[in-house]
Amino acid sequence: MLDIGDISQPVESDYRYELIQSLYFQNQWKDDEDDEEFEDNKNIYLQELNLFKDFLHKGEKIRIWYSDAPYSRCGLYWLCSLLENIDNEKYIVKLPEYFVLKDGIASYENWNEASEEHFLECLAYEKKLAKQDILYFARQ
């Protein structure tokens, strides 16, 4: 949900947490159990983010899958701001506008809609992410 609210706020900030919580519980009754579940999910997310940062600092190769969906673009920009001072090999794969099929054309808004075959097909379009690209994306 990086395309919602003040995108200059850090993803692990209280601002982001409260914004997502307000959207999640919008027009719903909320009880202590919901708060606990939401807090658990926040903690899992923060653990995953820390694991990813550890992964980066170990020098692992990175592949970023993105599309033109606003949340995906914002995610790419945010991620590039994390990668500015990381020397790992970095690659990006952009979701094509459409796929030509035997019997027509398939078009997807985001990677969640794409089939496994299309993921594999798109690896051929993988592009090495240069330092200049990272700096450009991080400044968007």
DSSP output for 19-75: HHHHHHTTTS---HHHHHHHHHHHHHHHHHHHHHHHHHHTT--EEEEE-SSHHHHHH
User: Could you read off the pLDDT of 3-48 as tens digits, one per residue?
Assistant: 677 777 777 788 877 877 777 776 566 666 667 777 777 788 888 8
Global confidence as pTM: 0.76
Domain spans in the chain, listed from the N-terminal domain onward: 9-58, 60-140
